[in-house]
Amino acid sequence: MASVVAEHDDHHDHHDHGPEKGLLRWIITTNHKDIGTLYLLFALVMFFVGGTMALIIRSELFEPGLQFVDPQFFNSMTTMHALVMVFGAVMPAFVGLANWMIPMMIGAPDMALPRMNNMSFWMLVAGVLLLAATLFMEGGAPAGGWTLYPPLVLQTGKALPFAIFSVHMLGVSSIMGAINVIATIFNMRAPGMTLMKMPLFVWTWLITAFLLIAIMPVFAGAVTMLLTDRFFDTSFFNAAGGGDPVLYQHIFWFFGHPEVYVMILPTFGVASTIIPVFARKPLFGYASMVYATAAIAFLSFIVWAHHMFTVGLPIAGELYFMYATMLIAIPTGVKVFNWTATMWKGAMTFETPMLFSIAFVVLFTMGGFTGLMMSVAPVDFQYHDTYFIVAHFHYTLVPASVFILMASGYYWLPKWTGNMYNEKIGRLHFWLSAVSVNILFFPQHFLGLAGMPRRIPDYAIQFADWNMVSSIGAFMYGFSQLLFVWIVIDTIKGGVGKATDEVWEDASKHGLEWTVPSPAPYHTFTTPPEIIPTEHL
């Protein structure tokens, strides 16, 4: 019965819907592939915008003394770099992947709510543009850190209400995207695609979507309270009126901790998708991967105050949040062991997506180790708010999320464009990135342990050497990313030749997306696929 209905739809599609001609196609499109492309390109542009801000920061920190920017602008840069990278680059990039790949991975013709899909993308663009506009307002962009802690953030100039409204728009956009992902996965899987047969990327995105729906309203609430504190004389966070500035931190991190997992869970999903293909082996421990992801997501809601160990928590709070945070190491460890076991006794080849994925496993684990160190509350009294934590979260975001986004690009570009990318340049891009990212972030561990606080525009002389090394790494890393842009353009133009439908050896055993032609036609799976490959079995 289901297939009859599907065929009927198919009939309509072929007659009524092709891509619009011209630029209008990209504005009014409701096609999941078009919207996925828009998200990915937007994220790539924002990656370079945020990266430019990072290079401004690293330029100022190249040497002791203030050389290039005013301290206030420096603070704006650290704040905007984080906001742009989190809300403009990493999250949209994963939403782009979700748009492109989830329907193709579960054998669905499109996302469940295509018009809302279009709206959530353009809302994102509006939100990010509004945020960027604050750079040009009187008093400058927000400079209180991406966490927007009061009372400091309330000292922002004209930009404050605009930044808050921008957060609202980004939140609405994320929530709509998340609803769409959930609706699609729950309603549009091809017959036979049971939940426990879904590719890990789909699973991790399903869980991520629930996280987003739970946390974005919390963040919206927190910034709304900032708005009323500043403009309507409320005192949520003002002690003089009976409020508490630390209350904001509790609310923020109730959002903020799951938020960082929003960026890492889909990363896990892509890694679990790519590694088996190039190890030519099924993913080890599929079920435990799913359960571990769910466990991490659950734990992410009950550990928030580990960002606040030095804020003056009662001892019971310190102990509880320490124990709960330590627990995260267990499911995360299971994931790392599973990836290692997937490689074990495989027949590995090392194309660019695999290289990035292996680097992800190694470097993310290093970020995990420092995370474990910081979970120990008493020692966090030393680590907190130093470059040690800067090193920690950049290890879990740059050589983890960003590396996996690069891996995704190389892995699926042939399917998206129908052309093969230049493997030599891809590998060059990988090796430059992998080496420079460590030159960039590893010395920051030393700086933090030696006593350099984060978010300072100038520093004592004993921090000079490693800061210089770190800045050199930053410029190497930043400029080597231009190779990726070159590859994307080159591949769209034709690359090194046509890609096969399967692209990677035996890939069709691992995912439905490899059973459709390359490039993927505008509409795929208008008829649900009959054979569900059970790639993990």
Residues assigned a catalytic role? 81, 110, 146, 173-174, 257, 259, 261, 272, 306-307, 332, 335, 454
The alpha carbon of residue 107 and the mean position of all alpha carbons in its chain are separated, in whole angstroms, by: 24
The distance of closest approach from Cβ of residue 170 to other proteins in the complex, given in angstroms and rounded to an integer, is 22
Phi, psi angles (nearest 5°) of residue 141? -70, 165
Rank residues 228 and 382 by Cβ distance to other proteins and give the closer one: 382
13: left (phi over 0), alpha (psi -120 to 50) or beta: alpha
When the beta carbons of 425 and 509 are compared against other proteins, the nearer one is 509
3-state secondary structure 241-283: HCCCHHHHHHHHHHHHHHHHHHHHHHHHHHHHHHHHHHHCCCC
Find the shortest distance in angstroms from Cβ 82 to other proteins.
12
By C-beta, is 3 or 349 nearer to other proteins?
Answer: 349
Rounded-to-integer distance, Cα 217 and Cα 197, Å: 31
Residue 296 and residue 210 in contact, taking contact as beta carbons nearer than 8 Å? no
Closest CA to 207 of 285, 283, 296: 296
Measured from the CB of residue 151, what is the shortest distance to other proteins in angstroms? 5
**Secondary structure (3-state) at 318:** helix
Q: Are 205 and 263 in contact (CB under 8 A)?
A: no
> In the complex, what is the shortest distance from the CB of residue 100 to other proteins, in angstroms, rounded to a whole number?
27
Nearest to 401 by CA among 263, 197, 254, 289: 263
* Between 258 and 276, CB nearer to other proteins: 276
Buried b (16+ CB within 10 A) or exposed e, 299-337: bbeebbbbbbbeeebeeeebebbbebbbbbeebbebbbe
The nearer residue to other proteins, 144 or 529, going by C-beta atoms, is 144
- Pick the closer one to other proteins by CB: 205 or 237: 237
Residue closer to other proteins (CB basis): 423 or 458: 458
Taking the complex as a whole, how short is the minimal distance between the CB of residue 350 and other proteins, in angstroms?
8
Residue 409 to residue 418: CA distance in whole angstroms: 13
Residue 4 or 347 having the CB closest to other proteins: 347
- Identity of the residue, 283 or 397, whose beta carbon is nearer to other proteins in the bound complex: 283
Distance CA 193, CA 533 (A): 9
Neighbours of 275 (CB within 10 A): 27
Q: Least separation, in Å, of the C-beta of 249 and other proteins? A: 9
Q: Which is nearer to other proteins, 221 or 453 (CB)?
A: 453
Q: Min. distance of Cβ 427 from other proteins in angstroms?
A: 15
Q: CA geometry: angle at 512 spanning 204 and 16, to 5°?
A: 105
Question: Measured on CA atoms in the order 446, 57, 78, 91, is the torsion positive or negative?
Answer: negative
- Interior CA angle at 409 toward 404 and 411, to 5°? 90
117's CB contacts (< 8 A; 6+ apart) are: 30, 32, 35, 99, 111, 176, 177, 180
Closest distance to other proteins from the beta carbon of 187 (Å): 29
Q: Compute the residue count for the chain.
A: 537
Read off the tokens for 179: 């609803």
Distances (CA, A) of 194 to 184, 328, 460: 13, 28, 58
Neighbouring CB atoms inside 10 A of 95's CB total: 31
Cα separation, 162 vs 153, whole angstroms: 13
Shortest distance in whole angstroms from residue 332 CB to other proteins: 9
Q: What angle do CA 67, 72, 74 make, to 5 degrees?
A: 55
CB of 390 to other proteins, least distance (A): 12
Those residues with Cβ within 8 angstroms of residue 172's Cβ, 6 or more apart along the chain or in another chain: 120, 123, 216
